[in-house]
């Protein structure tokens, strides 16, 4: 997946890519670290990882299957999925949930009719054909058939079956802290809570190897719960390292 990031950059910019800063959240943060560490993006300027720490992630893997089983398997509608994501605390920002949940679920259809319904409908059609003649007969038959087609229920289910990826989970996060600290570009770690730091990162932070910012009053989906604060933290980081300059009179 880290190689894919490099290939996407290559496809977009060819041999002369512009200065690039990679930002990744959770598992995306792990991919961002691996991408930076392996130098898949030669023009990399900086790295930002949002709420993923090796120690916390590895501890969480033990309960991940239970968490996945606790989620609804299907939703009646996209609005129903959005409502669940907010009420369950997965996302605390309804506006953000309306954007992000659409990509996490897919629409499915299944027939609402059962064999007994189908058979009775067919019998009804035959009886009508015996009673009526000509164009009226075929018209009623067609209407019955269309009615059968309409009797389908649509619902939404998860686009990705995460439980099937379990054998890869360990590899996504093991050794992540050391890889993050070894990246030779300016680094920013955004966390939802200071308790998420593991030993390696605590020592690295005390040694000034990366910039860390804790954003309170948000859940794991930091960038969705408090997008303005994340944007402000990123802007400050980029200006501090002279990646860019503040724009005068800009209104968010």
* Residue 220 annotated among the catalytic residues of the structure: yes
Q: Which of 25, 26, 40, 225 is catalytic?
A: 26
58 by Cβ neighbours in 10 Å (0-12 / 13-18 / 19+) ranks as: middle
d(CA 52, CA 30): 7
Q: Which of 34, 37, 40, 51 is catalytic?
A: 51
d(CA 196, CA 118): 57
Beta-carbon neighbour count of residue 21 at 10 Å? 21
* Residue 26 annotated among the catalytic residues of the structure: yes
3-state secondary structure the chain: CHHHHHHHHHHHHCCCCCCEEEEEECHHHHHHHHHHHCCCCCCEEEEEEECCCHHHHHHHHCCHHHHHHHCCCEECCHHHHHHHHHHCCCCCCHHHHHHHHHHHEEEEEEECCCHHHHHHHHHHHHHHHHHCCHHHHHHHHHHHHHHHHHCEEEEEEECCCHHHHHHHHHHHHCCHHHHHHHCCCCEEEEECCHHHCCHHHHHHHHCCCCEEEECCCCCCCHHHHCHHHHHHHHHHHHHHCCCCCCCCCCCC
Q: Which of 25, 34, 40, 220 is catalytic?
A: 220
Please list the active-site residues: 26, 51, 220
């Amino acid at each position: 997946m880290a190689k894919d990031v490099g290939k996407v950059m290559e496809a977009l910019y060819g041999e002369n890519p512009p200065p690039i800063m990679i930002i990744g959240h959770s598992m995306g943060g792990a991919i961002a670290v691996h991408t930076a560490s392996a130098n898949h993006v030669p023009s990399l300027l900086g790295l930002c990882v949002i709420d993923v720490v090796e120690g916390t992630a590895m501890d969480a893997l033990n309960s991940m299957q239970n968490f996945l089983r606790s989620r609804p398997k299907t939703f009646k509608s996209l609005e129903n999925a959005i409502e669940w994501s907010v009420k369950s605390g997965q996302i605390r920002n309804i506006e953000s949930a309306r954007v992000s949940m659409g990509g996490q679920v897919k629409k499915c259809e299944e027939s609402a009719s059962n064999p007994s319904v189908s058979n009775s409908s067919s019998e009804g059609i035959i009886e009508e054909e015996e009673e009526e003649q000509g164009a009226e007969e075929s018209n009623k038959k067609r209407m019955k058939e269309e009615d059968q087609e309409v009797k389908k229920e649509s619902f939404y289910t998860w686009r990705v079956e995460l439980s099937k990826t379990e054998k890869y989970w360990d590899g996504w996060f093991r050794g992540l802290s050391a890889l993050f600290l070894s990246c030779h570009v300016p680094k920013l770690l955004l966390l939802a809570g200071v308790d998420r730091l593991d030993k390696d990162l605590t020592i690295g932070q005390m040694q000034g190897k990366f910039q860390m910012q804790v954003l309170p009053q948000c859940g794991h989906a930091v960038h969705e719960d408090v997008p303005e604060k994340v944007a402000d933290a990123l802007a400050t980081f980029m200006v501090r390292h002279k990646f860019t300059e503040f724009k005068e009179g800009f209104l968010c």
